[in-house]
Each structure stands twice: as structure tokens, then as C-alpha cells.
Structure 1
Amino acid sequence: MSQNEVHSGTGVGRREGRPDDRDVASGGSAVSGVEIRLEEVSKRYPGQALPAVESVTMTIPAGNTVALVGPSGCGKTTTMKMINRLIEPSSGRITIGGEDAHSLHPDQLRRRIGYAIQQVGLFPHMTVGENVGVVPGLIGWRSGRVADRVDEMLDLVGLDPAEYRDRFPRQLSGGQQQRVGVARALAADPPVLLMDEPFGAVDPITRGNLQDELLRLQAELGKTIVFVTHDFDEAVKLGDRIAVLGPRSTILQYDTPEAILANPADDTVAGFVGAGAKLKQLALLRVRDVELGEVPTARVDEAPEDFRRRLTDGRSQFGLVLDARRRPVRLVSAVELRGVTSLRNAGRPVVDTVSPASTLHDALEAILTDDEGVAVVAKSRGEYAGVVGIDTVMATIRALRAEHEGSADEETPS
């Protein structure tokens, strides 16, 4: 096997809750993605002594998210773009679902592969609905079916179709534009989604929310995703497998995030992992993997005095006010409810929440910035699900440490 040849073996695990072809038989999420194979793929540009990409061989399993991570200029974006022939390979072979990509017309190939990029690339003169419906229209879907699909996809990425369908891109925030970009990439139901640092241009909070959204979508749709990033933490959070790339897309290590964090292949990979590898393992666990706590809740139209009494009687430090759709909107203490006539403006707004798909690392960040020391958990449509406290995260860290120490003892020769 050459230095750049990596295949996915049967011994490589996956994180619970991720789509995989084995899930179909066991009743989990079905896989709609297909396998991608790169065989000795290279890209050479005229006038350059060395190839930009040299002899890359790897298998991307159907329904997996594979993150390509490496420094700027290492060839990761070039490698990804050769999959849909935005860049033509100089040599080698790429198959998608067993079909040679070179045998297809480039336009036909690209309409079967979703593509999302950092700057989104929405057409500014088209509405959101028109942007999402572009590819289905190009491949001949009837107008009624396109309209239904537009609404379906906007709802899928958390944008109310009635509110956003007729807006123009300039009327959206950066995070909303990125959601529309993902909706457009998925509109024709392609088996493969290519993503080139799609969340790199948004603020950290929005970026975390978009990452959570992608995890939720992938758990539901089971696409094959190739995700390019220079951020190793993002690769750990999103990837079923990570390919750490060196110059000319040389594959330094291709394995699960767990395996790379535990056993970096060399000093270069260890440099990508960086300090705090144990803390990064919190990105391998999801909020849905731990038991959620509960706090008292009240409907927004409930009498403040009734809620204050319940908090006092239950000796609760604080509670949550929920709107008509059970979404957390305000966080209040018993003291803050004295003399208040309505819960609509009581206490403080709930600024940020985490989802069941969020990592425990995300939950820890939310906890550390919250006055009450909890992360509020909301479901995909925003409904209240529970809270995660610092004690839960600390118990998980202790369990990870104990597990690591136990594994180290087993490996130490007696």
C-alpha cells in the first residue's frame, strides 16, 4: 500500500447516532449516500515542478461524513473539487457509487452532487425560493414539485418557508444565507454533498449552530459528505472519519476522530490535534448521550406570582419561561418575579441554546457563559428539552479520564 493509499477497514468504528449502511438492517437511519473511491488521483499544473495533488487513494464510505483537514495550500480543496470535476484530474480514477465520474458529462455529474461553499454563492437577483429551486428546475422537475421541494428544504434547515421564500439573499443574515446554501445543495436530493469550509465566514456562535444543523440533517438524510476545513476541532465534531493531509494531499492519517485523538500517527498529526486532546474528546459525545436535567417552566401567559410561588416552594434557583410553541424565551429567578405583571419581559432572554446534536464541548462553552451555570437544550424546532449542568459535564470528563487510564494500564506490559 502506497503512502497515500487509505481504505476504510471493517475495524474502523463510528460514533453512535451517525448514519451507516449497517443502520438500515438494524432499523436506524437509512443511507441515501453512495461510496466514493479515489484511485491514484493526481493534479499537475503546467509550469509547476511538483503536482498540487499526488497519487491520492482513499475510500469514502456511503453515508459517512469525511473531513479533509490540513494547512492552507496542502491541496484539500483541489482534491475535493476533482470529485465533481470542477477541477479535472490529471491522472487517476474517481468512482461515485461505482460509476466512473469521468464517463459523465461534467454538468450532468455536478447536478448529482450538492456543493456548498464558504461565501454561499447565492444568486443575488433571485429570491430564496428561486435559489433553492435552481437545480430541480434544471433537471426537469415540474413547477409544482419544485415549489413543494423548496418549502420542504427551507423547513428542513429551520427557515419558515412563508417568511423566507420570497426574500432576497441581501435580506438575510450570514447564517441564514448559509442555511439557504445548504438547502439549495440538497434540493435535488443528491447522494453526495461537497462542502468547502462552508461555515468559515460566520461568527463562532452561528458557526456552532450551523454545525449542529448539519449533524441533525446528516442523521436524518444519510448523505455522503466530503467536508473541507482547516479547523481540526470542526473536523472532530463533524467527521465520522478524518483525513489529515500534508503537502500535495499526502494522507498522514485517515481514521475516526477517536483514533486520531488517542493515537496521532506522527508529530505532524499531533500538531493538528494540539493541546487539550482530552477536552476535545467532549466533541465525540453529544448532548443526547447524557441524561438531561430539568428546571421549572411556565407558559408565557401564566401569572408571574404563581410561577414565583412554585420556584420558592420547590427551592429552585431559577426557571424558564416558554412561548406558545414551548420554546425557551426567558430565564427568571424568584427574586426577579417580585412585582412583575407579565412573564413576557421578566428576567433575562434566553440568548443561546444547544441541541441534542450539539457536542458536550458546545454545552460546556454555553455553561461557562451562563449566569446560572447551565446550557438550555432545545429540539430541532426549538422546543424545550431540558438542561445540561456543569456537574454532568464534569462527571463525563472524569469517566473519560478513568476509561483512558484503564486502557493505558491494559497496554502496559506486566
Structure 2
Amino acid sequence: MTHSKDDAENEISGVEIVLEHVSKIYPGQREPAVEDVSLTIPAGEVVVFVGPSGSGKTTTMRMINRLIEPTSGRITIGGRDALSIDANKLRQSIGYAIQQGGLFPHMTVAQNIAVVPKLLKWDKKRIADRVDELLDMVGLDADEFGGRYPRQLSGGQQQRVGVARALAADPPVLLMDEPFGAVDPITRGVLQDQLMQLQAELRKTIVFVTHDFSEAVKLGDKIAVLGARSKVLQYDSPEAILANPANETVEGFVGSGASLQQLNLLRVRDVDIEQRPTAHEGDSAADFAARIGSDWGIILDSRDRPIRWTDGRHLVGASSIRGVGIPLGETVATSSTLQDALEAILAERNASAVVTGARGRYVGVVTIETLIDSIRALREEHEGSPAIVDPHADDPAADLTADASPEGTS
């Protein structure tokens, strides 16, 4: 996940993690679960541990916060030896998010998020303010969701609360153990995008475990490809691993679709984002219609989040913008990949997709023409081969652009 210029404006809040010759041997086992792992996880970056089931990637990650104690070796966090820190205090200073959120079922959403701040003896107002801030940060309304119980949430909502809870005490390090593995593919993509938006804002040190190489390419600043006993087969940027797998094992794990993974290396924020007229629900319908003219525009809520699109026909005779227009289809984030954006546009058969930034606020729109040009250039740069989107008449993207109209926007 290459940081943009905008990301650089946010200070790094994470700290460096160093593993030096770390091993784990369980009692009664002849072979170590993890053997002699050494790597440095840079401050403020996302490092993804990826490998097959049983490779020891989760064990390696859990040794960082001492949920599993290493048999030998040394782990330092921000320059401090993890073994020199009280285990409970160490875990309170490291966020931990797991599959399906791991929420306490007898606690409300607000109570779940407040667990660590309460242990740290924060005062009630500080805790309440932090809960509201975090729910807003992960895209959930505090008044609507704070009093609900986990059983009253969807899988994606539970996962968002799990991330909020992990961030509650503002830890410098966040460990994430296949956190999005139990949700449907569409929700998973949304959660991935949201994590990238949060990371652009917060700049934590994140260690993320997955068995999905596509997810690793999308999220990671660096990827550690792990083999048996967590042997580090290759540790590099996604670009470097895709272009030059270290050996046949890594090449096989990357898979035959490696060239398509290149689409995950370029973000929506890296291409041209166009603007459309915008208005809030309380604004004048007549003024908005005058600004739209023959074009189309976006209606925003009170927090500048896009909710509907409209054109002049919808505004004829309207006394208010409230309730006018058509709900948006799938949106993309500035941190979404070009593959995400292309899939969103083609799935909805729309000529463009609305782009959101931090906290879901409106940024602009990205068009199919922009994506096609960018993808062609990317493929030519990396492979010197024809673009993935064929410009001929049987290309669905070409059909889409030919039929582009305000109704075909999302």
C-alpha cells in the first residue's frame, strides 16, 4: 500500500517492530512451529504475513503481543524488549482484531469499544467521546449503533466495531488476524478500503495475517511470504514480489494471475478524479438545478457523505432537495485499487463511480475512460503487452462508454 503525498502529511504514530531469530517449540512437538524468524517491520507501515494454512503466520504474529510466548529469540517494539514489559500492559498497548470481530456478546457496541480505556482508568467523558469518535471513524452512527449488541449487527458491522475496539486506546501497533475472512466478497472489499483510509489517516504499524495473496497485494506496504515453520521465503514490496518472485515456491503461491495483480498496485487517488456539482439536502433545489444545467450532480448529507445523484429532470418543480434523486450504487474510496474501481463500474454498468475519502466524505468521480487509459498504461509499463481492456466493439467497457448517460452514473 504505497503512501501518497497526502498520507505523508499525517505523522507516523506507529513504532518499529523487530524480530530477531524468533522460534516457538510447543511441548511434546519434535518440530518447531516457528523456526528462526528474523525481520523488521517499519514504523507506520502495513506488513502482511501471507502463506498457506499451517505455515505458522498466526503464531508468529501472536508472539508480538505475547499471546504466545516465544521459546527463543528477541522481539522489540519501539526499541523495547517485549519480554521486559508486563504482558497485560503490553497487550493493552497493542490493538488486536480477529475474524468476526471477537466481540463480547453480552456487551453493547459502546461497551465493547470501551473495554481497554476502562482498564486504563480513563474518565467516563473521555471514554464516551472516544467511542463516538471511533464509531464515526469506521462509518457507524454512534446514536444508532452504540447501544446495540453484536447479535444485532451484520458481519461487516461487527468487523468495523472490532477494528474500532482495537484502536480504542490509540495503540501504536495493530495486529490483525484474518479479520475479513468471514464476510462476503463485496463487504470484504469495502472493509479493506476502509482500513486503507484509516491507515492513511492514522499511520499505525499494522501486522496483518492472511492466506489470500490478492488481499496481501492490496493492503501491504510490504509482504512477508512465509513457508513451513514461518520461514521467510521473500520479504519485499508487492511490486517487487510480483515482478521478481524469489523462487519457484513464491512464484507458485503468487499464481498464474500475477499480471492481473498489477491492477492492485495503482490507487484511485493516483488517477484523475473529476468533479460534479454538489449540494446538501437543505440547499435550494432551484439553485442546484441552475448549477447542474445539462450535467448531473451529487447530493451530500450533513457530513459531506454522498447519498444520491440527480439531474435537472429530478429537480423540476421540487421545492427541496430532500428526497430528490436516485440512491448511489457502489462507491469507491481514494484508496481503492483500479481493479476495485473497474469492477464497480462494470458490475453496475455505469459510466463512472463516486469516490469518497476520509470518513466517507465526497471527493469526486472516476470515469471508465480514465480507468481504461490508466490500465492500458499500467499494463504496457509492466508487461509490454496489450491492455487488459480491449478497445474493440466486443469489449463491455467500450459498450459502456458508448451508452454513457446521467442514468448510467453511480
Measured against the shorter chain, the TM-score band is 0.7 to 0.9
* Match 2:170 to one of 189, 208, 211: 189
Which amino acid counterpart does residue 2 of structure 2 have in structure 1? R
Which amino acid counterpart does residue 70 of structure 1 have in structure 2? G
Partner of 2:346: 368
The 4+ residue runs of structure 1 with deviation greater than 4 A are 295-311, 318-326, 331-348
Question: Does the 8 Å contact 2:20/2:73 carry over to 1?
Answer: yes
Which whole-Å CA distance do the structure 1 matches of 2:126 and 2:317 have between them? 54
Partner of 1:49: 30
Deviation digits for residues 79-103 of structure 1 (CA, Å, limit 9, x no counterpart): 1011111111111111111111112
Deviation digits for residues 101-131 of structure 1 (CA, Å, limit 9, x no counterpart): 1122211211111100002111111111111
Which whole-Å CA distance do the structure 1 matches of 2:300 and 2:172 have between them? 38
Question: Does the 8 Å contact 1:19/1:30 carry over to 2?
Answer: no
Deviation digits for residues 315-348 of structure 1 (CA, Å, limit 9, x no counterpart): x5x6545455554333457788899998766664
Deviates more, 1:177-186 or 1:372-381: 372-381
Partner of 1:221: 202
1:203 matched to 2:184: yes
Q: How does 1:12-411 map to 2 (within 5 A)?
A: 15-17=2-4, 23=8, 28-295=9-276, 314=294, 316=295, 320-323=298-301, 325-331=303-309, 348-404=326-382
Deviation digits for residues 223-276 of structure 1 (CA, Å, limit 9, x no counterpart): 111000011111111111000011111111100011111111112212222233
Judging changes above 3 Å, is the alpha-carbon distance between structure 1 residues 325 and 102 closer, same or farther for their aligned structure 2 residues? closer
TM-score (normalizing by structure 1): 0.84
Q: CA RMSD in A?
A: 2.8
TM-score (normalizing by structure 2): 0.85
Which amino acid counterpart does residue 125 of structure 2 have in structure 1? G
Judging changes above 3 Å, is the alpha-carbon distance between structure 1 residues 114 and 340 closer, same or farther for their aligned structure 2 residues? same
Which whole-Å CA distance do the structure 1 matches of 2:291 and 2:136 have between them? 36
Deviation digits for residues 381-401 of structure 1 (CA, Å, limit 9, x no counterpart): 434322212211111122223
Which whole-Å CA distance do the structure 2 matches of 1:166 and 1:300 have between them? 27
Judging changes above 3 Å, is the alpha-carbon distance between structure 1 residues 306 and 360 closer, same or farther for their aligned structure 2 residues? same
Judging changes above 3 Å, is the alpha-carbon distance between structure 1 residues 388 and 120 closer, same or farther for their aligned structure 2 residues? same
Deviates more, 1:230-239 or 1:385-394: 385-394
Judging changes above 3 Å, is the alpha-carbon distance between structure 1 residues 259 and 50 closer, same or farther for their aligned structure 2 residues? same
Which amino acid counterpart does residue 224 of structure 1 have in structure 2? T
Listed as ranges, the gaps of 5+ residues in structure 2 are 385-410
Shift of residue 290, structure 1, vs aligned partner? 1.1
Which whole-Å CA distance do the structure 2 matches of 1:254 and 1:75 have between them? 16
Which whole-Å CA distance do the structure 2 matches of 1:17 and 1:41 have between them? 33
Which whole-Å CA distance do the structure 2 matches of 1:18 and 1:53 have between them? 38
Partner of 1:10: none
Question: Does the 8 Å contact 1:113/1:190 carry over to 2?
Answer: yes
Judging changes above 3 Å, is the alpha-carbon distance between structure 1 residues 144 and 283 closer, same or farther for their aligned structure 2 residues? same
Which amino acid counterpart does residue 399 of structure 1 have in structure 2? A
Deviation digits for residues 175-201 of structure 1 (CA, Å, limit 9, x no counterpart): 111111111111111111100001111
Deviation digits for residues 200-228 of structure 1 (CA, Å, limit 9, x no counterpart): 11112221111111111111111111000
Partner of 1:411: none
Kindly, what percent of the aligned residue pairs are identical?
65
SS at match of 1:83: coil
SS at match of 1:369: helix
Deviates more, 1:284-293 or 1:59-68: 284-293
Judging changes above 3 Å, is the alpha-carbon distance between structure 1 residues 238 and 321 closer, same or farther for their aligned structure 2 residues? same
Deviates more, 1:257-266 or 1:383-392: 383-392
Which amino acid counterpart does residue 274 of structure 2 have in structure 1? G
Judging changes above 3 Å, is the alpha-carbon distance between structure 1 residues 345 and 189 closer, same or farther for their aligned structure 2 residues? closer
Question: Does the 8 Å contact 2:100/2:158 carry over to 1?
Answer: no
Which whole-Å CA distance do the structure 1 matches of 2:130 and 2:110 have between them? 10
Deviates more, 1:106-115 or 1:341-350: 341-350
Which amino acid counterpart does residue 4 of structure 2 have in structure 1? G
Judging changes above 3 Å, is the alpha-carbon distance between structure 1 residues 18 and 178 closer, same or farther for their aligned structure 2 residues? farther
Deviation digits for residues 55-91 of structure 1 (CA, Å, limit 9, x no counterpart): 1011111111100001111110011011111111111
Which amino acid counterpart does residue 55 of structure 1 have in structure 2? D
Judging changes above 3 Å, is the alpha-carbon distance between structure 1 residues 304 and 236 closer, same or farther for their aligned structure 2 residues? same
User: How many residues end up aligned between the 2 structures?
Assistant: 384
Judging changes above 3 Å, is the alpha-carbon distance between structure 1 residues 19 and 354 closer, same or farther for their aligned structure 2 residues? closer
Which amino acid counterpart does residue 153 of structure 2 have in structure 1? L
Listed as ranges, the gaps of 5+ residues in structure 1 are 1-13, 407-414
Which whole-Å CA distance do the structure 2 matches of 1:18 and 1:231 have between them? 28
Question: Does the 8 Å contact 2:198/2:358 carry over to 1?
Answer: no
Question: Does the 8 Å contact 1:18/1:240 carry over to 2?
Answer: no
Deviates more, 1:147-156 or 1:356-365: 147-156
Question: Does the 8 Å contact 2:329/2:348 carry over to 1?
Answer: no
Partner of 2:401: none
Shift of residue 19, structure 1, vs aligned partner? 9.5
